[in-house]
Amino acid sequence: MPPATSHLLSAIVLTSTILPSALGSQVAVKEWTFKGLDIPSIGLGLWNSKDKDATRAVEYAFDAGYSHVDSAAAYGNEDFVGKALQSSDTPSRHKYWVTSKLWNTDHRPGRVAPALKKTLADLSIPYLDLYLMHWPVAFLPDTEPGRTIVDQDTDIVMTWRAMEDLVRANLTRYIGVSNFSPRQLDTILKDCHICPYAHEFETHPYLQQQEFVDWHGEHGIKVIAYSPLANMNPTYKSKYPKLDPIVEDPFWKDMASRKNVTAAQAVLGWGIQRGTVVIPKSVHEKYIFENLASVNVTFSKAEMGEIAAQDKRSRFNNPSKDWGVELFEGLDDGYNRFFVEEL
Q: Which of 118, 126, 122, 56 is nearest to 92 (CA)?
A: 126
- Which of the residues 75, 197, 206, 226 is marked catalytic? 75
| Cα distances (Å, whole numbers) of residue 332 to 249, 292, 316, 318, 327 | 21, 29, 11, 11, 11
**Cα(79)–Cα(67) distance, rounded to whole angstroms?**
19
Please indicate whether residue 197 is annotated as part of the active site.
no
Coil, helix or strand at residue 144:
coil
- 134 labelled ligand-binding: yes
Helices 285-292, 263-273: crossing angle, 10 deg rounding: 40
Could you tell me which residues come within 8 angstroms of residue 117 by beta carbon, excluding any fewer than 6 positions away?
171
Beta bridge partners of 18: 28
- CB 293 within 8 Å of CB 269: no
Alpha helices (H) along 169-319: 182-191, 210-218, 250-259, 263-273, 285-292, 301-308
- CB 23 within 8 Å of CB 182: yes
Q: Which of 209, 177, 179 is nearest to 275 (CA)?
A: 209
Q: Which of 134, 126, 164 is nearest to 3 (CA)?
A: 126
Handedness of CA 253, 59, 198, 314 (dihedral sign): positive
Q: Which of 340, 107, 316 is nearest to 232 (CA)?
A: 316
Task: Write out the catalytic residue numbers.
Answer: 75
Output the known binding site for substrate: 134
